[in-house]
Structures are given as structure tokens and as C-alpha cells.
Chain A
Amino acid sequence: MAIAAMEIKGTDRTELITGSEAIAIACQLADVDVITGYPIRPYDTVMQYIAKLVSNGDFDCEYIIAEGEHSQFEVVKHASAVGARVFTGSSGVGWMYAMECLTVTPALRIPMVAMVGNRALDDPGAFGVEHNDALTVRDLGWQLVWVDTAQEALDTALIAYRVAEDRRIFLPCAISCDGAFLTHSQGLVKIPTKEQVETFLPRYDRGNLLLHPDNPITIAPQANEDWLMEIRRQTAAAMERSQAVIREAYKDFEKIFHRSYGNPFFEEYMTDDADVVLVGMGTLSTPVKVAIREMRQHGKKVGFVRVRWFRPFAAEELAKSLGRFKAVGVIDRDFSLGSPYLSGVLATEVRTALYPTAKRPPVIGFICGLGGREVLLADVHKMSDSIFQAAEGKSQPLTQWIGVRE
């Protein structure tokens, strides 16, 4: 592991690191001021890498180990209020234990950046990936992004600071990294230079919201029905502005780092000539892409759309894109029990996005890969077969559990 020897200044270099290490390095490059941690797998890997950077003298920050996730998120919330750039994170039920702080952070307009090492919610005590942990805050004003590779994790962490700390936004951002597949596997990552990062990322300036003796303010007084709706409307307005700010950030990112992600909100793979597409988030993209290549050898024109930003949800753009296809299959690595058509969360959102549009292909939901179960190539074939059937007008179950023993 070459982190300790890594020079902060200098030219682009390539390291073999995990997604968690990539995020730790992003924190170092972004010169984060206050970091809090409390161990839970798989998020704890990022704690370990940060601890190593700090103890080796390569990273100067306040690194605080809290006595639980609730305090962990409270500490960074307050640090951010007094003007510190902050980082924290958790996984699974650890994230849930911080829920009270997670709910208050958007309304207080705290640009906290957090890493969620996606993990199944207890019970049973499982380590593997499910997206339900991060998705619990989807309605609260958190910006939520799912990444696929360690490179994307590093780059997205920098973009997350840029967007969250933008004065027009001041909303927290959680970067979801699939447990094991991303947090625990190493890939080659280009590490940008400190100069590049400084050019891309302005200093965090909290302006007139700064809690400081020179700017005497009260934060979060009790306020009842005469005020609450206006406060929610303000938070909603910030989220409404977020899409444009994300777009700006990706444009500048490309200019400075010479790496492009195309459409910031979702990645399209082999969609140009596709008849049907699969939609999903996170690292399941790899088996999906490989299976698509196999299917194309047999003349089946399948494409893939990987959703990056779940909040804000680029509904109009995504609906426009998906309207081109004869059928859409949405793979959820999560569940939403009792939801419309008993689908996963993403499938319901995709259906909602499509509803007001003229072109509404059939949408089939798939629940797959829960608890870190491998999404097999055969699973992808099975899902594709079903959406081809749907494309031909043959009735398909609207939600299907794939890869479950039955």
C-alpha cells in the first residue's frame, strides 16, 4: 500500500487502492478539517485509511472517534456549522443509528459529505451490500450518489464537496459505495495533484450562516406551524438548484482533471442501438455490462443505464432517455416492502419519472443481489429475457426476485 509514501504535490500518479482508500485520499486532497468515525463494516475501511494518513503525518485534520454513530454525525454537523470542511460516514444499521442527525442536517443546510459503505440492514447481521441504508434518507434533503469504481469514488468525493459547499446548495451529500465490491477490492486509480484539487475546490465559506462570535446567530430554534413550511420550502429550493450545480461541477472537473463522466446523472452503456435496457446503481454494472456483451453476440440488443445521482433525481432527462426503448428492466439492490407493485425503490422512481411522458415503455422491476449476493451473468440473461418478452407485449410479472432459491 503506497499511501504513506504518496506525495501530496506532484503530477498525476496511479495507485492500486480500494474504493475506501480512494475516498480517504480524496479527503486528504480536499484538506478536510474535521473527520469523525465509528467502526462498522464495510465503512470502517475508510476510517482505517484515514487513521493511517493521519498517524503517518500525511494528513492534518481533527480525527475524532465518537462513542456511536449518533455522536459521530452530531460532531461533524457542529464542526460544519462553525466553518470546518467535514467528512464522516457509516454503514447499515450504523447509518440508521445516526438517523436523527441525518434528518436535521439538510434543514440546517450543513454541507456534510459522508460515505455510506452500503450494507444490509440488520437483522440478520449481514455484512454484504444492500442499498436500503442510504435510501432511508432519500426524502430528507440529502444528495445521494452511487459510484461504481474506486476512481469514480475519489472523483465523486471531490465533486461532492464542490456541490455540497456551494452557497446555492449547502446540503449534505452521501456517496454510496457497495460493500465488499467497492470498499474491499483494489483497482488502479489516478490520483490527481493537490494543485488540481485546489483549483477545482474553493474554500468552504459559510458566509452569514457561520456560527461564530463575530456573526452572532441562533441556529435551529423551536418553530411551529407558522414557520415550518417556509423552512421546508427553502430546503426544497436548494435541492431544486442542485442539478444545475452538479452539472457545472462535472464540467469544471473535466477541464481541470481531464477525465469525463459524460452525463453526470446517469451513465449509458450500449444504448445507442438498444431495443431494451436494464437500469441499476453501483457495482452490479460489471456483470450487467459483460452479460450485455454476451447477449449482443447473439443479436440481442440490450443496453444499460447506470444511475449515479439518485438525489437529485434527474427525472426528465432519464425519462427522455428511457422513452427510446421498447422495455425497461430496473435492477434494485434494495427492497421497499409493500410499495406499488411490490417493487424496489429505484423501479418505483423510474416508473414515476416516466408517467408524465408520452413514451412510456413497460417497466419490469427486479430485486437482485441482496445482502451482497453475487449478481450472476445468468441472472442478467434471465432479466433481459423477461424485458424482451415485455417488449413484445407479453405480460410479465411487474416485480421479480432474481437469484433467490426457489
Chain B
Amino acid sequence: MGRLFAIEVVYRGIFQKTLARNITRAIVLAAHHEGKPGISFGRYGDSPERNGIPAKAFAIVATDDITLEEGMAKYEPKEVDISISVDDTLCKGVESWAWYGLQPINRLTKPNGTLIVTSREEPARLIEMAHRKDTPYNLAVLKGTVSFSGLWVFKDDHTDVRLLGAIAKFLPELFSIESVKKTIMEEWKNPVKAASAQKTYDHITSVAVKPGQGNPEKPYEFVLPKWYEMGEGITIPAIAQGHTMKDAQTAQTGGYQPARNPTFKKFTTRTMRPVVNFDTCIKCTLCWLQCPDSCFDVTPEGLYDANMEACCGCGVCEAVCPVKDCVTMVNEVAFKDNSSQWEAWRKDKTTYNTWLEQKIAKKEDRSHGFRFRGQYEEQLPAALASASGND
């Protein structure tokens, strides 16, 4: 048997679907330049994609057809040479439509394989976000904002070809940078893109991640029931009614916390989360009313605490809040846990408010969602400058 190569691209549904497909297609085409057969596909179970839902695309390449068949016999590869995450918030894990529970971003990465993340963050922060692995792997950061390249009219920021350059660097057995450039000229007929790939190839580096490093949490798991354990007639019980909340400081009870689906969580669905200023909240109820996911818990004193089990990060609460900076959407990368903001505020208001100020100070650093029309175009020059500079 020859050598089998597998690369996965983890992306956000719809926004990055074309980007992911362009990358996996170009991987196969570049490898084909060196006589290797391959296939490129997206996970069918991820369809129909929804905005922002974590999804995966794959490129499987082999040194010969028989070996490729070995790879194709498993619909989804069980391990990959390179994992690519084109949205750094996905380093917290992948909760796809295609499975249940949360998969660490590096779950499929082979021992000593490479995880490439497009991010503005430093490797140390991304390592913290990713779950611990029993085997060592390498982390490479491709500097840049989250790319929407290929989404309808959004302009090309070269993320696709820069990743191809990075793959040529970390997995030279798969293809050379020359094959990458040849493919780029055939597919895009753009020498600037070929130059971007070359630049990344020349400059990108990786850091070694040791088995002990990373998020120590056990990823959220869900065991699928056996056929005779499931409700007959395709019935599922409704979510139970909610209950009152209790203030740990005053023992006051009241408010309302909805019961939530015990199976389906939204931890990594979101790319940003609301940060609430409880001192300026006027209790107008608008965030609570408008939230499409009933994510707000109503506290005993009538405040609204966004529950991170249920928030998908859509930003409606921020949009409807009439008070300046009372609800602010902040990049998910800025958070290390999913604990209650209200409880932190009740415990120590000064500490909480300092934390809040820090979080909302850099609010333009968000991975998804636009604050105004033309924002992407404004950000594009910086992105391109980053692409043509040192990675």
C-alpha cells in the first residue's frame, strides 16, 4: 500500500462554505500535478448548512488509486495529516449538525500532525482554547481575520492560497510549492495569488504542542440511544418547564430560568457573545423578548443574564438594547469559560465591571457579523497587507 494523505478544513457553514471547497479542491488539483489521485468533499451530514454552524470539508489524496480507495472506504477520515481551522473560535471545539456532542478541533490531527488556524491571536491563546491531546502536534497560525472569501460578492483575501502554501511547507510529501503555484495559475489565473502562496510558504512557522498543553475539560459528550430506548413514532418529549432562580448572595428567589435541551448545546456555535452591563440595564425586557434561542435567564431582581449553554451569538440582543454599551457582542476568543456573568457581578461588582470594560474595549475584533455595510471592504486592505507581509 502506498501513502494516504488526509486534510480537513473546519469552517463556519454558509459564510465559509465556498472558501472551504476552494481549498480542498485546490489540494487535490495540486497533488494531481504530482501524479497523485484524490477526492474532495464536504460532509453531507453538515448539509443543509446554516449560518455559522461548524462544518467540515475534506481532501483525501494518495500515491496510487488502490490506496486512495482505502481512504475512500471510510466516508470521513479517522485521522488527518493537517487540520485547518479557518475560524479561530472553532479552536474551542466543533459542534456540527452531523454529530452529537463536541469534538475537539484537534481530534483528527495525527500524532505530530499540524493544526493550521487563521487568526490574529498568538499561538499560546489558541493552544489554551483547544482541548488537550494525548499525542503531540504542531500549531501554525496564519495571521489574518476570519475570511469570507467566496461568499457571494465578498472579495478575495487570498486565505485559500496562503493555506495551500502552508500545506506545501508542513506536508512536502503531498505536493511542492511549485505544484501549488501551477494550480493557482490554472484555477485563478492570478500571479498575485501565486505570490501570496509563495510568501506564506517562505515564512510560516509552527510551534510544538505537548500532550499536557491545552484545555483540560472533557469535551461535552452525548451517547446515542439504542433503537428500543428511543420514543416510538418519532416522538421526543418537549423541554420541561423552567423554574425560578436563586441569588447566592441574598438567597432571594424569583425570576425565571427556562429548562433547556439536555442534548443540544450551543457552546461553539457562536463566534461572539453578549457582555451585559447589569448596572446600566433598565430592565426593558427587549433582549429577553427578541432572543430567538430563549438564552436569557431572568434573575430574581429582573435582570437578564445570557446563558452560554443556549446563546448562539446572533447579536439580536445588542441590536435591540436601547442603552449604550449595556449589551455588547464580543469575540468568543476573548472568553475562557461559559460561566454566568450575573453571578460574577453579584459576587463582586467592581471586579466584574473592570472585566466588562476590558472585554468591550476591543469590540471590533469579532470574527463574524458586520456592524455596518462596507465593513468588510474597509478591513480588506489590512487583510491583504497582512497576507503579503511576513506570516
Q: Which residues of A contact B (CB under 8 A)?
A: 107-110, 170, 208-209, 216-221, 223-227, 229-231, 233-234, 237-238
Contact = CB atoms under 8 A, between A and B. Distances in A.
Interface of B: 45, 97-100, 224-228, 230-238
Contacts of B228: 234, 237
Given A218-B238, A238-B232, 15 more contacts: A108-B233, A108-B234, A109-B233, A170-B232, A170-B233, A209-B233, A209-B235, A217-B231, A218-B235, A218-B236, A219-B234, A221-B234, A223-B234, A227-B224, A229-B227
Contacts of A217: 231, 235-238
A226 B233 contact: no
Contacts of B225: 230
Contacts of B236: 217-218, 221
Contacts of B97: 224
B339 to A, nearest CB: 30
Contacts of B99: 226
A109 B231 CA distance: 11
30 contacts: A107-B233, A108-B234, A109-B233, A208-B231, A208-B235, A209-B233, A209-B235, A216-B238, A217-B231, A217-B235, A217-B236, A217-B237, A217-B238, A218-B235, A219-B235, A221-B234, A223-B234, A224-B97, A226-B100, A226-B224, A227-B224, A227-B230, A229-B227, A230-B225, A230-B230, A231-B227, A231-B230, A234-B230, A234-B232, A237-B228
A377 to B, nearest CB: 48
Contacts of A218: 235-238
Contacts of B45: 224-225
A109 B224 contact: no
Contact of A109 (B100, B232, B238): B232
Nearest to B234: A220
A260 B101 CA distance: 56
A108 B230 CA distance: 13
Which one of B228, B232, B237 has the greatest number of beta carbons of chain A within 10 Å? B232
B224 A209 contact: no
B234 A216 contact: no
Contacts of A225: 45
B237 A216 contact: yes
A237 B45 CA distance: 27
A299 to B, nearest CB: 55
A1 to B, nearest CB: 40
B34 to A, nearest CB: 35
Nearest to A206: B233
A140 to B, nearest CB: 14
A238 B233 CA distance: 11
9 nearest A-B pairs in the assembled complex, by CB-CB distance: A216-B238, A109-B233, A230-B227, A233-B227, A209-B233, A217-B235, A220-B234, A218-B236, A108-B233
Contacts of B224: 226-227
B220 to A, nearest CB: 16
B232 A224 contact: no
A227 B237 CA distance: 16
A138 B100 CA distance: 34
B46 to A, nearest CB: 10
A312 B203 CA distance: 69
A242 to B, nearest CB: 14
A80 to B, nearest CB: 10
B366 to A, nearest CB: 30
Nearest to B240: A216
A19 B231 CA distance: 38
A221 B237 CA distance: 11
Nearest to B225: A230
Contacts of A220: 234
A224 B230 contact: no
Nearest to A108: B233
A261 to B, nearest CB: 30
Nearest to B236: A218
Contacts of A227: 224, 230
B89 to A, nearest CB: 25
B227 to A, nearest CB: 4
A52 to B, nearest CB: 34
Contact of B234 (A224, A226, A231): A231
Given A224-B98, A226-B99, A230-B225, A209 B232 contact: yes
Nearest to A220: B234
A297 to B, nearest CB: 54
Contacts of A107: 233-234
A227 B234 CA distance: 10
A136 B227 CA distance: 27
A355 B207 CA distance: 65
A20 to B, nearest CB: 31
Contacts of A238: 232
A103 to B, nearest CB: 13
Contacts of B100: 226
Contacts of A231: 227, 230, 234
Contacts of A209: 231-233, 235
A225 B75 CA distance: 13
A366 B231 CA distance: 44
A116 B232 CA distance: 27
A215 to B, nearest CB: 9
B316 to A, nearest CB: 24
Given A226-B99, A230-B226, A234-B227, A219 B237 contact: no
A255 B226 CA distance: 40
A231 B226 CA distance: 10
A107 B226 CA distance: 17
Contacts of B234: 107-108, 219-221, 223, 231
B238 A219 contact: no
A77 B256 CA distance: 37
A74 to B, nearest CB: 16
A225 B98 CA distance: 8
